[in-house]
Structure 1
Amino acid sequence: MISAIVTAAGKNRRMIADQKSRGIEVKHKLLLDLHGKPVIIRTIENVLNAGVDEVVVVLGHFSHQIIGVIDDFDDERVKIVENPDVNVELSETLLNGAFNVESGLCLCVAADQPTITTETFKNLIKKASEYFEPENIVSVMARQKTGFLDSAEGLGMPFVCHSDLLKKYLPGREDNLNPILRNMVDDDVVFYGSPALNDLELVNINRWDDYLLVLEKMGR
């Protein structure tokens, strides 16, 4: 069983600030158009095409805007859950997702990562699946070093790990992701970094300029 958690619960603060400063109509970054489809749908499609059995999309802030777009997505593998409290950190959003997926390997992805290819997702899943102890590995897209890693420096989503690892390390943590990954490294959880296929995969859509860059590069 391979599950996926797509986190889509953030405050969208940087994009809103950019749009207001430029006099642009304010629109949630996940709903911006990427060549005919919203950002979040591009991300979910890439995840589904990686061969996962289920996708849990976790919503929080602006859920009333995002939910309608996902509801129109015609795939029975996609399920929506909402954080009970919108004012939570990423660790709490991921934990909510972990409690709503089947036990097993889980691909964790930010909804603002439509640039990450299905091939990269497959590579991360493959590495975690092949490891002799899949309950003790985090297979992550590396931004610096690749191969077996001795540090979580610079690491974040996307990554693949067993849902039990999420349930072990996330409870009680009101934090961003990297400090929790560092704790895993300290506890001898195995980390394996796979390279991004291209520089665009390293871009999350946080600001207006990120969106313009992705719009241009993905149109080629």
Structure 2
Amino acid sequence: MGNRYAIVLAAGQGTRMKSKLYKVLHPVCGKPMVEHVIDQVSSLGLHKIVTIIGFGADLVKSQIGTRSEYALQEEQLGTAHAVIQAKDLLQNEKGTTLIVCGDTPLITSETFEKLLKHHEETKAKATILTAYAEDPTGYGRIIRKNTGEVEKIVEHKDASDEERTIQEINTGTYCFDNESLFKALSLVSNDNVQGEYYLPDVIEILKNQGEIVAAYQTEHFEETLGVNDRVALSQAEETMRKRINKRHMINGVTIIDPNSTYISAESVIGSDTIIQPGTVISGKTTIGSDCEIGPHSEIKNCQIGDHTTIRQSVAHNSEIGSLVAIGPFAHIRPESQILDEVKIGNFVEIKKAVFGKGSKASHLSYIGDAKVGSDVNLGCGSITVNYDGQNKFLTTIEDGAFVGCNSNLIAPVTIGKNAYVAAGSTITDDVPSESLSIARARQVNKENYANRLKNKE
């Protein structure tokens, strides 16, 4: 096996997407299309990857980073014109070059490897990745000789009635002998209606030179989908979602209803975890073993330990420990750290707070910009009043403290270790350890007052 290279075509704007976002940056299961392609290509152990960028060049580069080198296509004049932009980086290399479009997020490294292997075994100068299409309308058809060698590619609009019955189609992914590729590119003409330089013309040039052109037909037509509009984007999303869910189920995760469960490509989930219907797990989320998530929960960029339950709740950009119970209807906002054995109950909102081991906020509370120790109990309606209209302040609640229902803790303030705050208190000063703080008006009962009001009326 000789040296291998890849060129990823990612310069197009994608006008049919009707979007401000450049086409290859549209996400599929939470990851931009072009990044899916780069991930699969990178796993092949290639000597060099070159991504052709154009529209949104800086955004594409920031997404892919150092995993690729880049060549700029300033004008979009066709696929052959795009490939020739990699000339300075690749033209003197010997080996095989894989060319793939950045809007084909479903192609796997296994398919790429089979294509490369077939190309090298047949000693072809070019190999086309083909697929069998139930409905080949709109695709270029692969015309083969009796020997199986490719004779030509015929575009749908140019095909005869007989040729249109052929169901083997060109997917737009190719392997080339690298030196032959760049020599042939110099011969490609733009003498066509669009005035563009087309990569399939290289196939015809090589054929006319007497070179071998092969084709490898993948068994998985759905992998070859090119995303050019929002309809195809939804199809890619559905296929990728099924693939991701299947992978997790094979690895020991129970997904009750895969059709209503959305898991990002980067998420990691431990065995014996149960994902209930209507759950969305996105970003770089890690969930431990023996958890139960959902139903109807939204988890994004979180790290979650083992044996944790999250029901009908939202958690973003936070760390959640083991043996934690969250929900229903809780909201864990970014930069929160929920330690082990914590209970966060219904209609509790946590924001940028540390919640110590074994602590509880069971109902109807807001705990923001706070440091809560271990074994703390926050009664129903406990509020950390963290904002004065200009600045946020920290509330500290030390180990073992008990905060009664409907209490307001006006930050900055500290509730000491094992201290008690009486229900209904508004705390403006620190509460010493082992103390009871009562900060509410004394109750006054005015007997017969109701009768006096009635008589007055």
TM range (shorter): 0.7 to 0.9
Task: Please tell me whether residue 158 in structure 1 is matched to residue 182 in structure 2.
Answer: no
Alignment partners' CA distance in 1, 2:41 and 2:199: 20
- RMSD over equivalenced CA pairs, Å: 2.1
1:142-157 to structure 2, matched below 5 A, reads 142-143=130-131, 147-153=148-154, 155=170, 157=172
2:208 to 183, 186, 192: 186
In the TM superposition, what is the alpha-carbon distance from 1:172 to its structure 2 partner? 5.3
2:45 to 51, 76, 79: 51
1:160-175 to structure 2, matched below 5 A, reads 160-171=175-186, 173=188, 174=190, 175=197
Q: Identify if the C-alpha distance between structure 1 residues 188 and 201 changes in structure 2 by more than 3 Å, giving closer, same or farther.
A: farther
Task: Please tell me whether residue 110 in structure 1 is matched to residue 98 in structure 2.
Answer: no
2:63 to 66, 69, 74: 69
TM-score where L is the length of structure 2: 0.42
1:95 to 50, 70, 84: 84
What letter is aligned with 1:203? L
TM-score where L is the length of structure 1: 0.83
Paired residue secondary structure (1:52): coil
Measured against aligned partners, the alpha-carbon deviations of 1:116-148 in whole angstroms (never above 9, x if no partner) come to: 1111100111122223xx4x5212211355842
**Stretches of structure 1 lacking an aligned partner (at least 5 in a row):** 20-25
Measured against aligned partners, the alpha-carbon deviations of 1:136-194 in whole angstroms (never above 9, x if no partner) come to: 52122113558422222353531111111221111253412223322322332212211
Aligned to 2:228: 206
**Stretches of structure 2 lacking an aligned partner (at least 5 in a row):** 133-141, 155-168, 191-196, 243-457
- Counterpart contact for 2:131–2:171, Cα < 8 Å: no
Alignment partners' CA distance in 1, 2:38 and 2:216: 21
Paired residue secondary structure (1:99): helix
What letter is aligned with 2:151? D
Alignment partners' CA distance in 2, 1:117 and 1:197: 12
Q: Identify if the C-alpha distance between structure 1 residues 112 and 179 changes in structure 2 by more than 3 Å, giving closer, same or farther.
A: same
- Counterpart contact for 1:58–1:96, Cα < 8 Å: yes
Alignment partners' CA distance in 2, 1:28 and 1:98: 24
Measured against aligned partners, the alpha-carbon deviations of 1:70-100 in whole angstroms (never above 9, x if no partner) come to: 22xx54xx212213x3243211111122431
Alignment size in residue pairs: 204
Alignment partners' CA distance in 1, 2:187 and 2:201: 13
Q: Identify if the C-alpha distance between structure 1 residues 172 and 182 changes in structure 2 by more than 3 Å, giving closer, same or farther.
A: closer
2:10 to 4, 8, 17: 8
Alignment partners' CA distance in 2, 1:127 and 1:114: 22
Paired residue secondary structure (2:149): strand
Aligned to 2:128: 140
What letter is aligned with 1:141? L
| Paired-residue identity, % | 21
Q: Which moved more, 1:142-151 or 1:155-164?
A: 142-151
In the TM superposition, what is the alpha-carbon distance from 1:61 to its structure 2 partner? 2.2
- Higher relative contact order at CA 8 Å, sep ≥6: structure 1 or structure 2? 1
**More helix by proportion, 1 or 2?**
1
Alignment partners' CA distance in 1, 2:44 and 2:201: 28
- Counterpart contact for 2:131–2:220, Cα < 8 Å: no
State the structure with more CA Rg.
2
Alignment partners' CA distance in 2, 1:95 and 1:119: 27
Alignment partners' CA distance in 2, 1:61 and 1:103: 30
What letter is aligned with 1:158? T
**More strand by proportion, 1 or 2?**
2
